[in-house]
Amino acid sequence: MNVKSLIRHETLLALLLVVVLIVLSFQSDRFFTVDNLLNQGRLMTEIGLIAIAMTFVIATGGIDLSVGSILGLTAILTGVFWQNVGLPLPVAATAAIAAGTFAGFVNGVIITRFRVPPLIATLATLALYRGLAEGISQARSVRGYPEWFYVLGQQDVLGVPTQLWILFFAAVVASIILAYTTWGRTVYAVGSNEVASRFSGLSVEKTKLALYTASGFAAAVAAVIFVSRVSTTRSDMGTGIELDAITAVVLGGTSIFGGRGTIVGTIIGLCLIQALKNGLSLAGVKGDGTIMLIGAVLILAILASNLFERSGTRT
């Protein structure tokens, strides 16, 4: 029953995506071209990586609002480690990613050890990490990265944007982990009933700690890709990206209460949002109109899936 309703939501969403793609390709000749679609993939990688990790977090019934700030902090640290500390760029980027991952780990510790609700814990660290990024950068931006660094964010591998490969592999690995491993099933169990999971001997705290750490890691990797794509670092990078990621995850059918959700759903949700953004802007709709439509799509999609679910399962 649960699986059925899941499939229903994703099928519905996939159909919606197809309809949107068809309509948009009639609106503009430039939309349905390989170049444009690949370029859109480039633009959606950063949100995508964060949204994949967020799917796990939300599936346990948690949330991570600090990812945008972790992205900003990691970006700033990459620049500072490289330019001010003088580390070689690969070492600097690795160290920055390690710091971003540690920021996620701190979230996990606050949530699991001190039992602070995830919404509050990550609301506090959202302010803290962004503040650290602003304080460390003192509003200076770092530019002038070596040419090879842009391979990550601006160039192609085998004809496909480099970062799209990263997103692809991340999505495949994450799907397999979530759907087929014991650990992935633990995520659903914790989200459905945390107390029962604990009594069943599942290591609830360890699972959560790992997830928030992974969420920090995803945001940190997204940060380095972001820096490589836009050739500069600024402390306000990634502001508000948490809401975009959450929208994609929820649109993809992951229950905000936990226990339900798939990576495939998240990816479809992500594609739908990106297609709407791009297609509408090509069709001459201003960016603001697009934001409105995404909000409406989010509410209507959940409303529709709620109605379907209720008619399907009478409880």
Partner 1 sequence: MTTTVEATARSRSAPQRPGFFKRLFAEYGQEIVVLAAIVVLFAVVTMVNPRFISANNLTTIFSGNAYIAVAAIGMAMVIVTGNIDVSVGALIGVLATISGTLAVAGYPIWFAWLAPVLVGMAINAIIGILVAYARIPSIVVTLGALSILRGGLISVTGGTWITDLPSAYLIAQKQVLGLPVPLVFMVVLTALAALWMRYTAFGRSLYAIGGNAEAALATGIPIARRIVAVFVIHGAFAGLATILFATQLQVIQSTVPPNLELTVITAAVIGGVSILGGSGTVIGSTLATILFATIGSALIFVNVSAYWLRAVIGLLILATVLADMLRRRGRS
Binding site for partner 1 (CB under 8 A): 63, 65, 110, 114-117, 119-121, 123-132, 134-135, 137-139, 239-240, 243, 246-247, 250, 256-257, 286-296, 298-299, 302-303, 306
Question: Looking at beta carbons only, is 9 or 166 nearer to partner 1?
Answer: 9
Q: What are phi and psi of 158, to 5 degrees?
A: 55, 40
For residue 286, CA distances in Å to 20, 35, 41, 54, 167 come to 17, 22, 20, 29, 28
Question: Looking at beta carbons only, is 170 or 301 nearer to partner 1?
Answer: 301
Question: Looking at beta carbons only, is 137 or 175 nearer to partner 1?
Answer: 137
Question: Looking at beta carbons only, is 110 or 237 nearer to partner 1?
Answer: 110
CB 111 within 8 A of CB 118: yes
Question: Looking at beta carbons only, is 179 or 299 nearer to partner 1?
Answer: 299
Q: CB 161 → partner 1: shortest distance, Å?
A: 26
Q: CB 138 → partner 1: shortest distance, Å?
A: 5
State the DSSP string of 144-211: ---GGGGHHHH-EETTEEHHHHHHHHHHHHHHHHHHHSHHHHHHHHHHH-HHHHHHTT--HHHHHHHH
Question: Looking at beta carbons only, is 53 or 65 nearer to partner 1?
Answer: 65
Q: CB 306 → partner 1: shortest distance, Å?
A: 6
3-state helix, strand, coil in the chain (%, to 5): 75, 0, 20
Q: CB 106 → partner 1: shortest distance, Å?
A: 9
Q: CB 310 → partner 1: shortest distance, Å?
A: 8
Q: CB 303 → partner 1: shortest distance, Å?
A: 6
Residues 6+ apart with CB under 8 A from 237: 71, 72, 75, 76, 223, 226, 227
Q: CB 252 → partner 1: shortest distance, Å?
A: 12
Q: What are phi and psi of 142, to 5 degrees?
A: -110, 125
Adjacent-strand bridge partners of 160: 157
**H or E element in which residue 20 lies:** helix 2-27
Q: Is 233 helix (H, G, I), strand (E, B) or coil?
A: strand
Question: Looking at beta carbons only, is 187 or 248 nearer to partner 1?
Answer: 248
Q: How many CB atoms within 10 Å of residue 236?
A: 16
